[in-house]
Amino acid sequence: MLPAHPGLPASQDTLEVYRFRARPANPMTPATHAAVGAAIASRTRNLSLALALSFGSHFVLDSIYHFEAFYPLSVPEKWSYAGTMLTLLAALTALGIPVAAWSLRKDREAWLFAGYAFLMCALPFEWRPAWRLTWAILLAGTWWAISPSAAVRRWVLCGFVSYLPDVLKGLLTPVESLHEAMHYRSSLDLGDWISLLARGRWKLHVNYRIYDPWYQLGYALEILVEGAILFGSFYLLARRPSVADLAAVHHQADPVDKGSLVG
């Protein structure tokens, strides 16, 4: 008989373990995919190459460990899966307040794009792929139209393309196959590794995990992993070289401008 948490009826054990093992691969947040796509666009001059790299970055990011143990917060059914994800997004938002405040002072364009990226986090709550794609296009089109500069419009476009595989996987079988093949999958969660290193125990039953401090630390680190990628991308946007900076570098590197090739 599988062990039960004291707060759960024993009859729920098999059902809860089944749900835990059968859960779909947890995606990175749309904001993270979009931010990475925008960071790529800010450092890639050729738009076609930026779009291709943004699309490919989705699969690279999904191969990184992320939110693989966070789902058990829903297991005792105190929260729904949607409620768990909303809590997760709220935690990321709270972590991002200092970064957002800094980027607003440093670069208003990066702050404007961050607003678009976080609005994208509402898209996964639409489970119908065709409707999710429709809302994604409408959101990207609206933000593209109201963006005050070509740079922000470029970021919005690449951010949209970076998130696109999460929509297309429900519509195109080849994309779904590639997505599932690239996505991180392991029977070991981050909490397993922390528990093993801390006390020599791991693979606790799913009903115990959310009450265990070492697994709770694993959940916190999962949020930090996602936050590091998300806000690291925003940081790169805010610290991108401006047109004036690039012109100054070109000016300093030009031997004719320096007079070395003129008499």
pLDDT at 46: 95
Contact 160, 142 (CB under 8 A): no
Angstrom distance (rounded) from CA 131 to CA 118: 19
pLDDT in tens, 181-202: 888 776 677 778 888 888 887 7
Give me the chain's average pLDDT, please: 76
Tokens 């940081």 correspond to: 235
Instruction: Please tell me which residue, 81 or 24, carries the higher pLDDT value.
Output: 81
Q: Is the pLDDT of residue 8 over 90?
A: no
The predicted structure's pLDDT at residue 143: 95
Spatial distance between the Cα atoms of 16 and 102, rounded to a whole number of angstroms: 43
Residue range 35-53: mean pLDDT, rounded? 95
CB-CB neighbours of 186 under 10 Å: 9
Where exactly are the structural domains of the chain?
10-258
C-alpha dist (Å) from residue 75 to 7, 20, 83, 205, 225: 12, 7, 12, 11, 22
How far apart CA 163 and CA 159 sit, in angstroms, is 6
In the numeric block, which tokens belong to residue 55?
């699309």
CB 54 within 8 A of CB 162: yes
Which pTM was predicted?
0.75
- pLDDT band for 22, please (50, 70, 90 cuts): very low
User: What is the spatial distance between Cα 50 and Cα 183, in angstroms, rounded to a whole number?
Assistant: 22
Residue bearing the bigger pLDDT, 177 or 16:
177
